[in-house]
């Protein structure tokens, strides 16, 4: 007799292989919508676990909606979906699957993906709190925060799917490094010029790149309900390094800004203001600011306001924001966005010394 706590997916999904694509999962979402609507309209009330299982599938379909080339294991049909650690039943009361999905944490997203990718791993959320990527076979699931401009709202960040591998045969969860290093400041005054900022917005960090390498730090996880150690899934600590023309600058923790930032303190601001009485054409005067146009100048910040010249360079902006956070400059940093800037508006906003950021990232 088939347990009503499990969903016979092969009978409702068009399956011909050992895996299901993200598109098929989206089809399953549509079918689950229709099935739930039919059951509810027919007065179906018991057992409630069946409806909850359909809800789990619909939430998972939202998770995979942006990952059409991703696959899931058919072993998932043997799993009790409503018992998944990433799915909290009390939080589903009077919520649609889309609402539930929008409130999922990064750890819940990765735990959901690990379950559907493997068909059996049900990992404790605490184990994946600092995970930035998950690798399995030829799939790499990467947190958006690692690929996005730092001014992007955290509510718009999710998980992206890339085709590739990291040379491991087991499932690997990449965790953000705990003790990233930063290059020591040199003593050559010739490479730190700190010219007066003249209002020009440009990108002087075109040679900045991020590179991924691996350390020897690995920890096997215990994904099972009884806590058994499974040698098929590991935590692996990578080094995400900032390179400047091939020269190492720093290892960064991209989650560091997220952990330390307070949205009332970390300013992501857009200029010009619509009600600017000067029409955003006021010349730059009486602005005590210098231009930061190199990694050396970023590491050795000036005593006055510094403007980091990373115009429209998301990688360099992410690197600069992460380095400043690791230096304890989170509360002193503002990220500017937009295509035009009115420096009068900017100066007015930060007219009080106690609210004035020391570093502005263009």
> Would you list the domain boundaries of the chain?
1-104, 189-205+256-361
The larger pLDDT score, comparing residue 36 to residue 71, is at 71
- Residue in this structure with the two tokens 């075109």, named with its chain if needed: 206
CA 256 and chain centroid, separation: 12
pLDDT higher at 223 or 206? 206
Overall average pLDDT of the 82-93 stretch: 77
Reduce the DSSP state of residue 267 to 3 states and report it.
Answer: strand
pLDDT tens for 224-258 read: 555 555 578 899 998 899 999 999 999 999 888 77
In this predicted model, what pLDDT tens digit does every residue of 254-307 receive, in sequence order?
A: 888 777 655 444 467 766 666 676 665 555 655 678 899 999 999 988 888 889
Q: Determine how many CB atoms are found less than 10 A away from the CB of residue 190.
A: 7
Confidence of residue 2 (pLDDT cuts 50, 70, 90): very low
Token duo for residue 321: 């924001």
Angle at which helix 48-63 crosses helix 22-41, to 10 degrees, equals 150
Close Cβ partners of 174 (under 8 Å, ≥ 6 residues apart): 131, 132, 133, 134, 135, 166, 236, 237, 238
Going through 137-270 in order, the beta strands assigned E by DSSP cover 139-143, 159-163, 171-175, 208-221, 230-244, 247-251, 267-270
* pLDDT, the chain, mean: 77
DSSP H stretches of helix in 70-213 = 97-102, 106-118
CB-CB contact of 111 with 86 (8 Å)? yes
Residue 9 has pLDDT above 90, yes or no: no
pLDDT at 54: 82
pTM: 0.79
pLDDT digits (tens, 9 = 90+) for 313-362: 999 999 999 999 888 887 788 888 776 677 777 777 766 666 667 888 98
Which of 317, 288, 322, 284 lies closest to 305, judged by CA? 288
Residue 222 has pLDDT above 60, yes or no: yes
Local structure of residue 183 (DSSP, 8 states): P
CA gap 33, 97 in Å, rounded: 10
């Amino acid at each position: 007799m088939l347990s009503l706590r499990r969903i016979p997916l092969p009978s409702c999904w068009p399956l011909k292989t050992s895996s299901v694509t993200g598109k098929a999962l989206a089809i399953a979402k549509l079918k689950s919508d229709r099935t739930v609507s039919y059951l509810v309209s027919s007065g179906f009330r018991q057992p409630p676990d069946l409806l909850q299982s359909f809800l789990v599938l619909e939430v998972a379909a939202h998770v995979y909606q942006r990952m059409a080339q991703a696959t899931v294991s058919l072993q998932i049909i043997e799993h009790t979906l409503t018992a998944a650690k990433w799915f909290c039943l009390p939080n589903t009361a009077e919520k649609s699957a889309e609402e539930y999905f929008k409130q999922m944490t990064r750890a819940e997203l990765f735990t959901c993906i690990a379950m559907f990718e493997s068909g059996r791993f049900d990992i404790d959320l605490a184990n994946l709190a600092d995970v930035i990527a998950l690798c399995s076979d030829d799939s790499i699931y990467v947190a958006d925060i690692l690929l996005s401009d730092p001014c992007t709202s955290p509510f718009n960040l999710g998980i992206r799917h890339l085709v590739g591998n990291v040379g491991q045969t087991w499932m690997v969860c990449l965790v953000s490094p705990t003790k990233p290093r930063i290059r020591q400041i040199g003593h050559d005054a010739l490479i730190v010029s700190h010219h007066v900022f003249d209002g020009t917005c440009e990108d002087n960090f075109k040679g900045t790149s991020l590179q991924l390498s691996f350390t020897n730090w690995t920890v096997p996880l215990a994904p099972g309900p009884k806590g058994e150690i499974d040698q098929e899934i590991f935590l692996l600590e990578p080094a995400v390094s900032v390179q400047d023309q091939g020269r190492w600058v720093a290892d960064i923790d991209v989650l560091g800004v997220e952990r330390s930032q307070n949205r009332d303190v970390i300013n992501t601001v857009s200029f010009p203001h619509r009600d600017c009485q000067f029409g955003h054409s006021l010349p730059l005067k009486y602005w005590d600011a210098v231009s930061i146009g190199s990694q050396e100048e970023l590491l050795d910040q000036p005593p006055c306001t510094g403007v980091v010249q990373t115009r429209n360079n998301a990688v360099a902006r992410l690197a600069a924001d992460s380095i400043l956070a690791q230096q304890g400059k989170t509360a002193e940093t503002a990220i500017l966005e937009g295509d035009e800037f009115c420096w009068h508006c900017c100066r007015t906003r930060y007219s009080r010394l106690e609210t004035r950021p020391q570093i502005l990232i263009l």
